[in-house]
Amino acid sequence: MSNIVAIVGRPNVGKSTFFNRLIQRREAIVDAVSGVTRDRHYGKSDWNGKEFSLIDTGGYVKGSDDVFEAEIDKQVELAIEEADAIIFMVDVESGVTGMDEEVAKLLRKVKKPVFLVVNKVDNAKRAEDAVEFYSLGLGEYYTVASINGSGTGELLDALVEALPEKETVVQEDLPRFAVVGRPNAGKSSFINALIGEDRYIVTDIAGTTRDSIDTKYNRFGFEFNLVDTAGIRRKSKVKEDLEFYSVMRSVRAIEHSDVCLIVLDATRGFDGQVQNIFWLAERNRKGIVILVNKWDLVEKDHKSVKEYEKAIRRQMEPFVDVPIVFISVLTKQRIFKAIETAVEVYKNRSKKIKTSQLNDIFLPIIENYPPPAYKAKFVKIKYIMQLPTPQPQFAFFCNLPQYVKEPYKRFLENKLREHFDFTGVPVSVYMRKK
């Protein structure tokens, strides 16, 4: 296990810029709106061969009427609890503020290494100004300019030196389950209900989860990463830079996941935006599970589930072999069923079928239902194999691949689904020249 380092401090001192520099990718949202980093954010970094996890916390703000502040306050305390070392960032431009003093008061009690880091120090004058931060009672400080990285080397040398030795565990690449959907469908609440810890800030303002965040999770003896994404919004709703990053992030979360759990609000249905997310996941050939949340709010009779499901499947055609689970995050109804289903879909997606088995099953089927002749030419399929890709793709070798049309490929795909369980997984069928 790598050590955990938390970056704390009030909003806009440059925590996210520093975080990005250390993990070297645009992972946290950086924007000049105060308190944009609404959540703790995780990343991996290493220095002098020592790896550590980094948490970028929400700005620590006291006595503000922003709905988020009390929540962020909890987040920082959580980060302090979880971390092996703490970087407390302040800003030389604003000098010591009342809020910095509040944070310092909390940190003076912490029995862990605390590094006071004065940011935005990019000239000698500012280096002199930094002296006033001695008044925080945290001893020595480090001066950095996170925008260009100056000073970060010395800080990191001291940081990795202070980190406790951890026994190394080989980090395997865990399957990634992305929880996606439009804002306010209940994605963060779903993850909270699973983890039973307020890892995410949940307030009833659409679009609170501005970033995607990974949580390691173990259930049914199966370990995986849960990825919570920002609600994907329609392009027209992307007013500020910020939302733009969120959308990019969700798209990226889908690209980097193995299975997408698409959460939709039962009262809104499988609307256009949810369909876009669905087709995005399908185009990326990801495993898919549809979770119909807030099912407790829908007026229903004994036929409701069937009818609702039928309506969704109509809109998913031709890819209808997708599990649909009706859940209520509020009452925790079937939330574990949702994860169990995702695990099954993951296994379906990584399924490998022996070439001999494929040919034994498919050659007789093809003999009975050959591809239709085209311009008096007959297509002969000689051999079938599964391609070595992360998701199921099959090559059918034949004499005239160009004459095999979509309907016949769909027929083959349906037969593949019939014989081998590929529920929730897009299957690709290719015709190749023998």
Instruction: Please tell me whether 193 is known to bind a ligand.
Output: no
DSSP-derived letter for residue 176 is E
The radius of gyration of the chain from alpha carbons, rounded to an integer in Å, stands at 26
Instruction: Please tell me whether 373 is known to bind a ligand.
Output: no
Instruction: Please tell me whether 12 is known to bind a ligand.
Output: yes
Instruction: Please tell me whether 17 is known to bind a ligand.
Output: no
Instruction: Please tell me whether 293 is known to bind a ligand.
Output: yes
d(C-alpha 405, C-alpha 140), whole Å: 72
Contact (CB, 8 A) for 4 and 53: yes
Instruction: Please tell me whether 211 is known to bind a ligand.
Output: no
d(C-alpha 61, C-alpha 224), whole Å: 33
d(C-alpha 86, C-alpha 74), whole Å: 16
d(C-alpha 380, C-alpha 366), whole Å: 9
Instruction: Please tell me whether 47 is known to bind a ligand.
Output: no
Instruction: Please tell me whether 9 is known to bind a ligand.
Output: yes
Instruction: Please tell me whether 231 is known to bind a ligand.
Output: yes
Instruction: Please tell me whether 186 is known to bind a ligand.
Output: yes
Instruction: Please tell me whether 57 is known to bind a ligand.
Output: yes
Per DSSP, the residues of 208-260 read ---S-EEEEEEETTEEEEEEE-PPP--GGG--SHHHHHHHHHHHHHHHT-SEE
Instruction: Please tell me whether 208 is known to bind a ligand.
Output: no
The 3-state DSSP class for residue 171 equals coil
Sign of CA dihedral 10, 83, 19, 223: negative
Instruction: Please tell me whether 11 is known to bind a ligand.
Output: yes
Question: Residue 301: CB partners within 8 Å, gap ≥ 6?
Answer: none
Instruction: Please tell me whether 58 is known to bind a ligand.
Output: yes
Tell whether omega for the bond before 390 is within 30 degrees of 0, i.e. cis: no
Instruction: Please tell me whether 35 is known to bind a ligand.
Output: no
Contact (CB, 8 A) for 385 and 394: yes
d(C-alpha 69, C-alpha 209), whole Å: 14
Closest CA to 143 of 161, 167, 125: 125
Instruction: Please tell me whether 267 is known to bind a ligand.
Output: no
Instruction: Please tell me whether 347 is known to bind a ligand.
Output: no
How are the residues of the chain apportioned to helix, strand and coil, as percentages rounded to the nearest 5? 35, 20, 40
Instruction: Please tell me whether 62 is known to bind a ligand.
Output: no
Instruction: Please tell me whether 321 is known to bind a ligand.
Output: no
Closest CA to 182 of 234, 240, 242: 234
Rounded to an integer, what is the distance from CA 99 to the centroid of its chain?
32
For 4, 34, 315, the CA distances from 27, given in Å and listed in that order, are 17, 18, 34
H-type helices in 31-66, by residue range?
none
Instruction: Please tell me whether 188 is known to bind a ligand.
Output: yes
Question: Residue 213: CB partners within 8 Å, gap ≥ 6?
Answer: 39, 40, 41, 42, 199, 200, 227, 228
Instruction: Please tell me whether 70 is known to bind a ligand.
Output: no
Instruction: Please tell me whether 434 is known to bind a ligand.
Output: no
Instruction: Please tell me whether 230 is known to bind a ligand.
Output: yes
Instruction: Please tell me whether 14 is known to bind a ligand.
Output: yes
Instruction: Please tell me whether 59 is known to bind a ligand.
Output: yes
Query: Which residues belong to the annotated binding site for GTP?
Result: 9-16, 56-60, 119-122, 181-188, 228-232, 293-296
Binding residues: 9-16, 56-60, 119-122, 181-188, 228-232, 293-296
